[in-house]
Amino acid sequence: MSSEIFEISQHKRLNWTTTIAMTLFHLGAIAALFVFSWQNLAVAVFLYWVATGLGISLGYHRLHTHRSYKAPRLLEYFLAICGSLTLEGGPITWVATHRIHHQKSDHDGDPHSPRDGMWWAHVGWILFGESLDKLTGIVSKYAPDLGKDRFYVLLNKYHWVPLTVLGAGLYAIGGWPMFLWGICVRVVFGLHATWLVNSATHMWGRRRFVTRDDSRNNWWVALLTFGEGWHNNHHAHPTSARHGLAWYEFDPSWITLKILRRFGLAKAVQCASLNSAAANRKAA
């Protein structure tokens, strides 16, 4: 394991900038409970689909990280902007971190493995881990494709701008209540939902495929994350755009992708199936 990757996964000094930001967003989410309205809830739900469903699941993860399908460049950029609305960092940093996770999954060097503790896998690695932005050599190694695109370089550097613009727009339309719901509640819920993929789906659930990691299929995480909870399926077939392989494994991102494919906006879609060779043995 390289010293740089070790630094990512085992750095123990508190990242005060990240910690303060997370604290403020969580306090804002709590404050939102005192200014509830159905309109603001609807705004939060819609933006959650845009940011986490389109941005993270369909964009950062299945497209930008694993290249499980091809899309027009403008759609790629749009999905990346949506992903930046989650407060999960820019596309290059996110992709590099996730590719490291797949290479080192639940072994030395994995940035967020429950083998280092559930709390670490869920949020500790964010609060105490060294920022990947500082490790340019690692970013260049694991995300060279995005690093060659000026748009992704700029978005990675200024990933906070789209969220700031959105926040200002929500405040202008609906004041603090809409801001608190459309930004704070939505972001906090999305963060914890995404973090559950790092923690819960490596601890609880069923293993259909034999993999070298602890990945599991977890139905309730899948419901929260637009199909990302079918994590054992994903680790067995990382480049598959379809994560829910059985008819009962609800995968909203796969449904969205089929719609995009119907309109010619998604091509070369890779799709695993239950008949794949890796399914010959059930995990113990």
pLDDT in tens, the chain (284 residues): 344 444 444 556 888 999 999 999 999 999 999 999 999 999 999 999 999 999 999 999 999 999 999 999 999 999 999 999 999 999 999 999 999 999 999 999 999 999 999 999 999 999 986 655 555 567 778 999 999 999 999 999 999 999 999 999 999 999 999 999 999 999 999 999 999 999 999 999 999 999 999 999 999 999 999 999 999 999 999 999 999 999 999 999 999 999 999 999 999 999 998 876 444 344 33
Does residue 273 sit within a domain? Answer: no
Does residue 274 sit within a domain? Answer: no
Question: Please, which residues have CB within 8 angstroms of residue 117's CB and are 6 or more apart in sequence?
Answer: 124
Q: Report the 10 Å Cβ neighbour count for 34.
A: 8
* Under 8 Å between Cβ of 138 and 5: yes
Phi-psi region of 208 (alpha: psi -120 to 50; beta: other; left: phi over 0): alpha
* Under 8 Å between Cβ of 195 and 129: no
Q: How many domains does the chain have?
A: 1
Does residue 129 sit within a domain? Answer: yes
Q: Encode burial over 36-60: b for 16+ CB neighbours within 10 A, e otherwise.
A: eeeebeebbeebbbbbbbbbbbbbb
Does residue 268 sit within a domain? Answer: no
pLDDT in the model for residue 207:
98
DSSP state of 209: S
Does residue 161 sit within a domain? Answer: yes
Does residue 21 sit within a domain? Answer: yes
Give the structural domain span for 145.
3-205
DSSP 173-191: HHHHHHHIIIIIIHHHHHH
DSSP state of 243: -
Among 239, 252, 5, 244, residue whose Cα is nearest residue 105: 5
Does residue 227 sit within a domain? Answer: no
pLDDT in the model for residue 138:
72
Does residue 217 sit within a domain? Answer: no
